[in-house]
Structure 1
Amino acid sequence: MTASVDDRDAPGDALPAQARVWLRLLASGEVKASDAEAFQRWLHTSEAHRAAFHEVKQRWAALRPVSGEYLRTRPAAAAAHERALQGRNFGRRAFLGAAVSAAAVAGVAVVAYPQGGLWPAAGEGTADDRTAVGEQRTLALASRVQVTLNTQTRIRRERAAGQLTGIDLLSGEAAIDLLAEGGPFGVVAGAGRSLAHAGRFEVRHLDGKVCVTCVEGALRIEHPAGVRALQAGQQAVYDAQSLSGIARVALENVSAWRRGELVFDQTRLAEVLAEINRYRAGRVLLVNGAAGEKRVSGRFRLASLDSALAQLEHTFGLRARSLPGGLLLLS
């Protein structure tokens, strides 16, 4: 990999972005001699360049206290981090001198806070449609098909013989409204596919787990582990290996996001905060493991999530500490 941010005449507001590119490269374990030379040239272009890199490095450093907690509470992220460490050749960076310490900081922070908006998420470029943090958007994909994307959602449109046949829900949450009877419309998510001819259903694909809810009409879930036929008010969950049975759910709670609300019923505080994180810029991290097991019941407006956090802090006696990069630490 060869970096291409050696722009000596870059305006001041471009320098922080360039510094982030360099820091990410230094943390990647893929630094070549040409990269190191280019980095040194960029760094010594001016005092402004050095100040920009120092500022970005300091922001990453501020994340170190919370990165360990993030990895401890997210086994999948911890495993990915371990694989990345095993695959790196740190000897190739020995000649970088002072830059090595910056890379060490970034190597942890990249795992701890990958959705900080500093670079596109993995696979971002493969999506046809996407929403940002807190954004919801309704798409008219065909005359009878409307798809509403919830926050941080990415989809790819699926076609056959020039006709739209469904979507691939790469990540996030989508509500599908089939306004008239017609051919099957499918939603691929993870290892399974949900098919319906009419009605309404919702699919949520997060952290390798997929939840399918039939809101109106009927649908069919096809999965390597079996098939499920859902009616209105029913839900099934699957991952790469398994497919659950059929459960009854409260549709008012499941679809609350479409009304601008989050509804919880005896939900663990840790799960509540994880859900809030999907809609709120920055990130909330709970470092009090015992508090994470406490139960929450309530209704919160998506437009007032900071008020919801203040209410949770008061209810459970938590202390809040703001960190750079939009992080809020609760203890």
Structure 2
Amino acid sequence: MFRRRPDPDAEALKLARAWMARLKSGEATTDDAAAFRAWRAADPAHEAAWAETVRLWEASGAAAAAVRRRDVAPRRAMSRRMVLGGGAVAASAAITGLGAVRLGLLPAPADLLADHATGTGERREITLPDGSRAALDARTALDVDMAPGRRRLTLIHGAAVVDVAGGLSPALEVRAGPGVARADAGSFTIRQIPVPADDPGGMRRRVVCIAGSVSVTAGETRELLPGQAVDYDDTGCGPVVGADAALETAWRQGLMVFRDRRVDEIVFELNRYRPGRVILLDDTAAARRLSGVFHLDRTDEVVAHLERMLALPTRDLPGGIVLIG
């Protein structure tokens, strides 16, 4: 069960939005981050106001994506002419501020404030205060909340493998989106995955049990044993299915391994490791399924593979941005 957050008051919302503006301005300092943390901790109303501000921030991104899907077909011919005719400069100029954050070209506010965050192509292993370990995939943000009687991680976004130190109480829990995974010992992965473009649900999360057992709650509860997985989103948990743990953790060995994966999922994962951004413009191509094995230090080979398999043109823009379709 989740505790209901208090409703944010108007003054707290005003301050939260001011903090959001400051943190995404590109001028925030470590002192700003410390002051922000203190402000959030000072009053439950501040935390509620920040949660509401982040929700609106994320909703604005979903709305922009919906508009883009609606408009992309009639604009496609014009957009291509713009790029070919020298509009790349105008396009790159548009990718500033909020747009740059949305495209992953600048860090999101949450990344500046997370206890641990990895950048593009960066992977990191950390030891937690209770002796557990977490391996963070690229573009991952994780908060750690450890205290007597509490072992809690929050995966803000990205993916992680968690090796749980056993023999301790309570169980270690990892919160991600609308759900939570709990384990007394063992190992599991938790990952953010995009849903199809025509689904308004945004992101879903996938938990894969590697060793021991893990309990996943998002409305309902699912119990996982090694080699089992479950996806969940705002609507609840899906069914328990089989999973290949080696495939799910191939990134730890420097590999991208895709087996019958949707192209939009492949592009989403590719953008964790490649500077700039690959943007898929063709919704039909997004739903196609491909397989492949690639080295994380040769991500341009993935772009070439997509271009070849999808038989779609690509356009290179400044800043490492590639349009496919």
User: Could you state the TM-score of these two structures normalised by the residue count of structure 2?
Assistant: 0.65
Alpha-carbon offset, residue 209 of structure 1: 1.7
Of 314-323 and 151-160, more deviation after overlay is shown by: 314-323
Residue in 2 aligned with 1:84?
none
Equivalent residues in 2 for 1:202-281, closer than 5 Å: 202-206=189-193, 207-223=202-218, 225-281=219-275
CA deviations on 1:247-303 (whole Å, 9 max, x unpaired) are 111222111111111211222223212221122111111223333333211111111
State, as a whole percentage, how many aligned pairs show the same letter. 32
Residue in 2 aligned with 1:144?
131
SS, match of residue 267 in structure 2: helix
Q: Is there any run of 5+ residues in structure 2 with no aligned partner, and where?
A: 1-13, 15-23, 27-60, 69-91, 194-201
CA–CA separation in structure 1 for the residues paired with 2:67 and 2:112 = 21
Verify: 1:329 aligned to 2:323, yes or no.
yes
User: Could you state the TM-score of these two structures normalised by the residue count of structure 1?
Assistant: 0.64
CA–CA separation in structure 2 for the residues paired with 1:79 and 1:157 = 33
Evaluate the alpha carbon distance shift between residue 258 and residue 288 of structure 1 in structure 2; reply closer, same or farther with a 3 A threshold.
same
Alpha-carbon offset, residue 117 of structure 1: 6.0
Q: 1:167 aligns with which of 145, 149, 153?
A: 153
Equivalent residues in 2 for 1:73-152, closer than 5 Å: 75-78=62-65, 112-115=99-102, 119-142=106-129, 144-152=131-139
Verify: 1:289 aligned to 2:276, yes or no.
no
CA–CA separation in structure 2 for the residues paired with 1:286 and 1:79 = 14
Number of positions where the alignment pairs a residue of Structure 1 with one of Structure 2: 239
Evaluate the alpha carbon distance shift between residue 274 and residue 120 of structure 1 in structure 2; reply closer, same or farther with a 3 A threshold.
closer
Query: One-letter code of the match for 1:300?
Result: F
CA–CA separation in structure 2 for the residues paired with 1:117 and 1:273 = 13
CA deviations on 1:213-271 (whole Å, 9 max, x unpaired) are 11111011223x11111111111111123111211112221111111112112222232
Evaluate the alpha carbon distance shift between residue 131 and residue 236 of structure 1 in structure 2; reply closer, same or farther with a 3 A threshold.
same
Q: 2:300 aligns with which of 294, 303, 306?
A: 306
Residue in 2 aligned with 1:26?
none
CA deviations on 1:12-71 (whole Å, 9 max, x unpaired) are xxxxxxxx969xxxxxxxxxxxxxxxxxxxxxxxxxxxxxxxxxxxxxxxxxxxxxxxxx
CA deviations on 1:105-153 (whole Å, 9 max, x unpaired) are 9778656542556643133343111000111000011363110111111
Q: Is there any run of 5+ residues in structure 1 with no aligned partner, and where?
A: 2-19, 23-73, 82-104
CA–CA separation in structure 1 for the residues paired with 2:67 and 2:285 = 27
Instruction: Provide the alpha-carbon RMSD of the alignment.
Output: 3.1
CA–CA separation in structure 2 for the residues paired with 1:115 and 1:280 = 15
Alpha-carbon offset, residue 179 of structure 1: 4.7
Bigger CA radius of gyration? 1
Of 178-187 and 137-146, more deviation after overlay is shown by: 178-187
SS, match of residue 152 in structure 1: coil
Evaluate the alpha carbon distance shift between residue 312 and residue 122 of structure 1 in structure 2; reply closer, same or farther with a 3 A threshold.
same
